[in-house]
Amino acid sequence: QVQLVESGGGLVPAGGSLRLSCAASGRTFSSYTMGWFRQAPGKERALVAAMRGSGGSTYYADSVKGRFTISRDTGKNTVYLQMNNLKPEDTAVYYCAAKAPWRVTTSTTYDYWGQGTQVTVSS
């Protein structure tokens, strides 16, 4: 089983930056698709960014393209979400998630989830 723990959230003014970290356990971490989701009050959880285990394919929601970057450090078993030029509408709880390598690439099911970290962007 994979255990995920997020960190790096906080309060930041509009235009600022944050770097979220997701520490993962498991020897097969590098083979998992990793995703970052967010859920704002009153809104449905949405996928923000994802990276396949190979690192050769990434996805970004239109709302964050050009501002957010997902990356991973396999040596540290950690995935990151660099968030630049933050906007108040980015305020949400951000979750790290992992999708097992045996799932098809189009699957929307992620198998492991972190507890979430709050990101608040002030006006």
The span from the CA of 53 to the CA of 33, in Å, is 5
Q: Give the pLDDT score at 61.
A: 97
Q: Are 9 and 115 in contact (CB under 8 A)?
A: no
Whether the pLDDT of residue 21 is over 80: the answer is yes
User: If you average pLDDT over residues 84-103, what whole number do you get?
Assistant: 95
Q: Give the pLDDT score at 28.
A: 63
Q: Which residues pair with 80 in a beta bridge?
A: 21, 71
User: If you average pLDDT over residues 74-93, what whole number do you get?
Assistant: 95
**Phi and psi at residue 65, to the nearest 5°:** -60, 135
Residue 38 per-residue DSSP state: E
Q: Are 95 and 38 in contact (CB under 8 A)?
A: yes
The span from the CA of 79 to the CA of 102, in Å, is 20
